[in-house]
Amino acid sequence: MFSIIISLICSVSVGVLLKIAKRYEVTFMQIIGWNYVVALLLAWFLFTPDLQNLTVNRTLSAIFSSLWVLLPLVFLIQAWSLHKVGIVKTDIAQRLSLFIPILASYFLFNETFTTYKIIGLILAFVAIFFTLDRAENNSTDSKKWQYPLLVLLGFGVIDVLFKKIVSVSDIPFTTSLFVVFCGAFVLAWLFNLYQIFTKKQQFSIRNLYWGIVLGLLNFGNIYFYLRAHKELPENPSTVFATMNLGVIILGSLIGVLAFKEKLNKKNYFGITLALIAVVLIVLSQIQGK
């Protein structure tokens, strides 16, 4: 559970960083590009991946190429969704993406669901609806449903693909992580160069500073997330659900304490259900019930 906790802290910190960054004159895609520079360097120096003996079959190649596209693209789609439909609907979509990996746990990874885990997962989805029942204070166009839908699909598919990477026994997941960061780095900067030279977007060194911090947090989030799946290979739903619920609980607390966000009674009830769900899912791991 240690890996899940560290990944959770990094994940929530990424959201906090992006929320703060919106107050300054930054270019979101340039921050994403620098983020992958940092993540790539960390993966290289910490893990020294063995690329000479790297053999990639057709399935793994498809997983890598999908993540190369999805990682920077979903970041960008999330930004579009925040702008078009607002933070509430975008947050709902991101949390509801849990449906996709949970279904994959049963149908794709053949996980056995215990009684405690089934009850915990049911409470988890109920908790999601209650914690996200908030009034929206902006005037965004709520009819543009395609943006949150793409957020839902993007985050859900990424979770499943990361689990697939960890399931490959022939290649260390740290080497796979380096390869994934390589592709995401290339595509992110191709997009940035297009924006700079074709759309005359300004290149600002300020984005580098934000990108360094984002890279450190994003690297920690993904590395420990993969490590958690490695530690719990037979129980992917535990990682999926605990991470998602943890983000809801910790994110809500930070929102209230640091950003003075208002929660209603339904939200607090949802957070309580999320805590109970986490306890049940952890108990299912300990007792196997």
- DSSP H or E run through 249: helix 236-259
Q: Please give the residue range of the domain that contains residue 144.
A: 2-287
- Report whether pLDDT(52) > 60: yes
What average pLDDT does the segment 275-283 reach? 89
Measured in whole angstroms, the distance separating CA 224 from the mean position of its chain's CA atoms is 12
- Is-contact 236 101, C-beta < 8 A? yes
What average pLDDT does the segment 198-208 reach? 91
What confidence tier does 180 reach under pLDDT thresholds 50, 70, 90?
very high
What confidence tier does 164 reach under pLDDT thresholds 50, 70, 90?
very high
- Report whether pLDDT(285) > 80: no
pLDDT in tens, 149-160: 898 899 999 999
What average pLDDT does the segment 29-44 reach? 95
Higher local confidence (pLDDT), 249 or 68: 68
CA distance 85 to 144: 7
pLDDT value at residue 88? 60
Q: What are the structure tokens assigned to 106, written together? A: 């049963």
Cβ neighbours for 143, distance < 8 A, ≥ 6 positions apart: none
CA distance 178 to 189: 17
pLDDT value at residue 134? 63
Higher local confidence (pLDDT), 285 or 223: 223
pLDDT in tens, 66-109: 999 999 999 888 777 766 776 666 777 777 888 899 999 989 99
CA distance 287 to 239: 17
pLDDT value at residue 139? 46
- Report whether pLDDT(144) > 60: yes
What confidence tier does 217 reach under pLDDT thresholds 50, 70, 90?
very high
Task: Give the count of domains, the chain.
Answer: 1
CA distance 96 to 225: 18
What average pLDDT does the segment 231-252 reach? 88
pLDDT value at residue 136? 52
Min mean pLDDT across 189-193, 251-255, 271-275 is at 251-255
Q: Other CB atoms closer than 10 Å to residue 278's CB: what's the count?
A: 24
pLDDT value at residue 146? 84
Give residue 171's identity as a one-letter amino acid code.
I
Q: At 157, is the secondary structure helix, strand, or coil? A: helix
Q: State how far the alpha carbon of 233 is from the alpha carbons of 57, 105, 166, 176, 255, in Å.
A: 21, 11, 8, 17, 33
Average per-residue pLDDT for the chain: 87
pLDDT in tens, 186-200: 999 999 999 999 988
